[in-house]
């Protein structure tokens, strides 16, 4: 066993007294730190900033293992480096390509026949933005006096974290009163020949040096659909391979409408199909062999890129959780309502938690609330109900609350009223964009003021539309209130204020004009 050293922080006592965290102020610290956070993503940020803001002595570990093709990045976690941020920027790039064509219809003198993206420039712009976000993150750590170690941390016992400062160096260890595990997850690879050697994942695509070209996107969850859509918008040729259904867990009608919208835009779906092998051809392209599980027919096709989007696994394997006694389920950590694990002073936040939404704002808010409970006397728990979310496809899909199926399952079909309607965004008329998939619905109670249980919207800027409604829904929004709200005209969000057709009525939900 290599020599073990203890890391000491020179500024701890001065810091905790100057910032006023009085919990242990009078006593000699028993541990090196008040809080050690494993993971430098946004879940970790929430808790470490909250802790440091209360005067706690905080140390954060963050380490990223390179992907099989060698992609690596620094602090900031998935969202900043290989998730929400680069994804939103590529989504925007693809929407802009579409807007160029619309601009011509609006009278702009643009030669829209010859537009094509400069993939290399786009990747550089995206990566430059990420660098600037990370610079701010590092500055913020310094400002908040949070110590940062760029190493993988693992448990030696329930209060002790072990790490190696650099490859080949001796093991070091630190002790902490509390430990928060915020290690997130990484993409899975299918267990088939060639998958790891020849395929890439969302961890690689946002910094991919060559143009993706004809791309097989395997997986029809958030990542698969979003990547397929921005690739299509940028002029490449994605095909989506679906194992069972599109967007499992979402409202079925909305998911199928979204898939129809993608098909209309020229994205093919290979339904009920699983990959069998990936092989490199003599010309360098990738031959993918697959099987349709409905027909049991085998097939194959050739692609330039294969992108796996089959879900993510929690990064528990390097944590040595057994040494601390922390219980897990599959590759996630089990926590209670206060994010406490089976060991009361060890907590977990973000994607690593079992059974909670894997979304950035969930990770941030749960981390922040946890820090307030640990260091500022708060008792407020994270409310994981009715978390709004958006799938960033060209017509976006955003929702909050229950799907139609869940509402019927929990309340019974007789107790549910579904208000719905297609609509025509004003800005779609001049460029004659398809309005076939612009649709929204409210799932509500059938009686009284008709409390709304779920809202669903497919259309432009869906996330911007649903965010405000999410707060209203958490405050007990009813159909009566929505219909008594004066809309902002002409917007697409105002369509919620005129949802008068119920599915039960059997009336046609297609609008006659823009303003009916």
Which residue positions form the known binding site? 88, 153, 219-226, 311, 351
Look up tokens 């107790």; give the residue. 415
- Longest Cα–Cα distance in the chain: 77
CB closer to ligand NDP out of 248 and 327: 248
User: Hey, which residues between 273 and 332 contact ligand FAD (CB under 6 A)?
Assistant: 315, 318-319
Quick one: what does residue 69 bind among ligand NDP, ligand FAD, none, with the CB cut-off 5 to 8 Å set by partner type?
none
Burial 358-375 (b: 16+ CB within 10 A, else e): bbbebbbbbbbbbbbbbb
Would you count residue 358 as binding ligand NDP (CB under 6 A)?
yes
Would residue 159 show up in a list of annotated catalytic residues for this protein?
no
Residue 348 is encoded by which pair of tokens? 């977990």
Gap between the Cα atoms of 37 and 141, Å rounded: 13
Q: How far apart are the first and last CA of the chain?
A: 76
Q: How many CB atoms lie within 10 A of CB 115?
A: 12
Does the protein bind ligand NDP through residue 69 (CB under 6 A)?
A: no
Asked if 224 touches ligand NDP (CB under 6 A), the answer is yes
What 3-state DSSP class applies to 477? coil
Mark 174-213 with x for binding to ligand NDP (rule: CB under 6 A) and - for no binding.
Answer: ----------------x-----------------------
Among the listed residues 15, 165, 245, 277, the single contact to ligand NDP using CB under 6 A: 245
State the pairing for strand pair 200-201/185-187: unpaired
Contact 36, 178 (CB under 8 A): yes
Burial 206-230 (b: 16+ CB within 10 A, else e): bbbeebbebbbbbbbbbbbbbbbbb
Q: Catalytic pick from 12, 129, 437, 489?
A: 489
Which residues 296-335 are close enough to bind ligand NDP by CB under 6 A? Answer: 309-312
Verify binding: residue 435, ligand FAD, rule CB under 6 A. no
Structure tokens at 170: 């001796």
3-state secondary structure of 356: coil
To ligand FAD, the closest distance from the beta carbon of 61 in angstroms equals: 4
For the CB of residue 328, give the shortest distance to ligand FAD in the complex, in Å: 14
Per-residue interface string for the shown chain with ligand FAD, residues 96-135, x marking contact by CB under 6 A: ----------------------------------------
For the bound state, the minimum distance from the C-beta of residue 297 to ligand FAD, rounded and expressed in Å, comes to 31
326 to 365: interface string for ligand FAD, x by CB under 6 A: ------------------------xxx-----xxxx-x--
Query: What residue has token string 């898939």?
Result: 259
* Torsion on CA atoms 188, 191, 196, 199, rounded to nearest 10: -80
Peptide bond connecting 490 to the previous residue in cis, omega within 30 degrees of 0: yes
Q: Give ∠ CA 137-141-145 in degrees, rounded to 5.
A: 165
Which is closer to ligand FAD, CB of 351 or CB of 417?
Answer: 351
* 223 is a contact residue toward ligand FAD (CB under 6 A): yes
Distance, in Å, from the CA atom of 305 to the CA atom of 287, rounded to the nearest integer, reads 10
Q: Should residue 162 be labelled a site residue for ligand NDP when binding is judged by CB under 6 A?
A: no
Burial of 466 (0-12, 13-18, 19+ CB in 10 A): buried
Among 59, 141, 146, 183, binds ligand FAD (CB under 6 A): 183
- One of 65, 248, 329, 436 touching ligand NDP (CB under 6 A): 248
- Tell me how far, at minimum, the Cβ of 437 lies from ligand NDP, in Å: 18
Q: Within its chain, how far is the Cα of 167 from the centroid?
A: 31
Question: Minimum distance from CB of 398 to ligand FAD (Å)?
Answer: 11
Residues making up the annotated binding site for FAD are 88, 153, 351
**Position among 51, 53, 55, 77 found at the interface with ligand FAD (CB under 6 A):** 77
Q: Is position 220 an interface residue for ligand NDP (rule: CB under 6 A)?
A: yes
Q: What is the dihedral sign for C-alpha 106, 108, 113, 116?
A: negative
Pick the piece of the chain touching ligand NDP (CB under 6 A) from 90-98, 223-231, 416-424, 497-505: 223-231
Q: Which residues bind ligand NDP (CB under 6 A)?
A: 190, 219-224, 226, 243-245, 248, 274, 309-312, 357-359, 389-392
Q: Which residues bind ligand FAD (CB under 6 A)?
A: 38-44, 61-64, 77-79, 83-84, 87, 152-154, 182-184, 202, 223, 315, 318-319, 350-352, 358-361, 363
Residues serving a catalytic function are 489
């Amino acid at each position: 066993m290599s020599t073990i050293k203890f890391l000491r922080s020179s500024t701890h006592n001065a810091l905790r007294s100057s910032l006023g965290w009085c919990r242990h102020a009078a006593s000699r610290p028993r541990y090196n730190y008040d809080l050690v956070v494993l993971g430098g993503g946004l879940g970790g940020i929430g808790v470490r900033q909250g802790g440091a803001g209360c005067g706690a002595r905080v140390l954060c570990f963050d380490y990223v293992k390179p992907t099989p093709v060698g992609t690596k990045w620094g602090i900031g976690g998935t969202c900043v480096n290989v998730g929400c941020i680069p994804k939103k920027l590529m989504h925007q790039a693809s929407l802009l390509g579409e807007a160029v064509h619309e601009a011509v219809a609006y009278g702009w003198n643009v030669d829209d026949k010859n537009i094509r993206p400069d993939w290399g420039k786009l990747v550089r712009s995206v990566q430059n933005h990420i660098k600037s976000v990370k610079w701010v993150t590092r500055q913020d750590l310094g400002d908040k006096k949070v110590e940062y170690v760029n190493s993988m941390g693992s448990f030696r016992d329930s209060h002790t974290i072990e790490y190696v400062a650099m490859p080949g160096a001796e093991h070091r260890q630190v002790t902490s009163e509390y430990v928060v595990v915020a290690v997130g997850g990484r993409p899975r690879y299918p267990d088939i020949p060639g998958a790891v050697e020849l395929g890439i994942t969302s961890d690689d695509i946002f910094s991919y040096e060559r143009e993706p070209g004809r791309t097989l996107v395997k997986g029809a969850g958030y990542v698969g659909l979003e990547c397929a859509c921005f690739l299509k918008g940028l002029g490449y040729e994605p095909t989506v391979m679906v194992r069972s259904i599109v967007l499992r867990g979402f409202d079925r009608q909305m998911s199928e409408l979204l898939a129809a919208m993608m098909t209309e835009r020229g994205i093919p779906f290979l339904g009920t199909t699983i990959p069998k092998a990936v092989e490199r051809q003599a010309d360098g392209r990738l031959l993918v062999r697959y099987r349709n599980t409905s027909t049991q027919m085998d097939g194959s096709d050739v692609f330039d890129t294969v992108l796996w989007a089959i879900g993510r696994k929690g990064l528990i394997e390097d944590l040595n959780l057994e040494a601390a006694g922390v219980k897990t389920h599959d590759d996630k950590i089990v926590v209670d309502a206060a994010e406490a694990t089976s060991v009361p002073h060890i907590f977990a936040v973000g994607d690593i938690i079992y059974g909670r939404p894997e979304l950035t704002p969930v990770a941030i808010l749960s981390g922040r609330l946890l820090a307030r409970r640990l260091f500022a006397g708060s008792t407020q728990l994270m409310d994981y109900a009715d978390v709004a979310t958006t799938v960033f496809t060209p017509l976006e899909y955003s929702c909050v609350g229950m799907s139609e199926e869940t509402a019927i399952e929990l309340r019974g079909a007789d107790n549910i009223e579904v208000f719905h309607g297609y609509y025509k965004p004003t800005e779609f008329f001049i460029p004659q964009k398809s309005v076939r998939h612009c649709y929204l619905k409210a799932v509500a109670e059938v009686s009284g003021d008709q409390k709304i249980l779920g809202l669903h919207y497919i259309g432009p800027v869906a996330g911007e539309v649903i965010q405000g409604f999410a707060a209203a829904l958490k405050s007990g929004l009813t159909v009566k209130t929505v219909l008594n709200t004066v809309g902002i005209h002409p917007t697409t969000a105002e369509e919620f204020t005129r949802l008068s057709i119920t599915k039960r009525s059997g009336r046609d939900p297609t609008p006659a004009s823009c303003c009916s």
